[in-house]
Homo-oligomer: A and B are copies of this chain.
Amino acid sequence: MSKQNPLPVIAEECCAPLAREPISKDDAAELAKVLKAVADPVRLRLLSLIAARDEETCVCDLLPEFDLSQPTISHHLKTLREAGLIGSERRGTWVYSWVIPQALDRLSALFDTAREEAGVR
């Protein structure tokens, strides 16, 4: 386990919106990893369940939301963690997760179609 995201795929900023200028090969490869992490119905729901809470979410609260085995959910959470989308921490018996807003913000900005100025800001 890890206090923060173990493999912070998205270290820091990266690339302007898709519509601003052609993305580089390297940026495309890195972003595709993150997008693959969210491109799954189960992980989308996990991410949403975690993100929609004000507080950290216990894995034990996520399990009953799905008709899937515990190892499968654990696997999906690991995927989200390795993509830098969520963080997790064990506290006693339970493991709690939270979203990393910067990761969502980057994806939101990636698909931004605003045509005006702005730069990377």
Contact = CB atoms under 8 A, between A and B. Distances in A.
A44 interface: yes
Interface stretch (A6-14, A33-41, A69-77, A89-97): A33-41
A23 B44 contact: yes
B52 A32 contact: no
Interface centre among A23, A25, A112 (most CB of B within 10 A): A23
A52 B22 contact: yes
Interface in A17-33: 18-23, 25, 28-29, 31-32
Size range of the chain A interface in the assembly: 35 or more
A39 B41 contact: no
Interface centre among A19, A29, A41, A113 (most CB of B within 10 A): A41
A9 to B, nearest CB: 13
A51 interface: yes
Given A29-B41, A45-B25, A108 B105 contact: no
B32 A48 contact: no
30 contacts: A18-B44, A18-B47, A18-B51, A19-B51, A19-B99, A20-B52, A21-B48, A22-B48, A22-B49, A23-B44, A23-B48, A25-B45, A28-B42, A28-B48, A29-B41, A32-B44, A35-B38, A35-B39, A36-B39, A38-B39, A101-B113, A104-B111, A104-B112, A104-B113, A105-B111, A107-B111, A108-B109, A108-B110, A108-B111, A108-B113
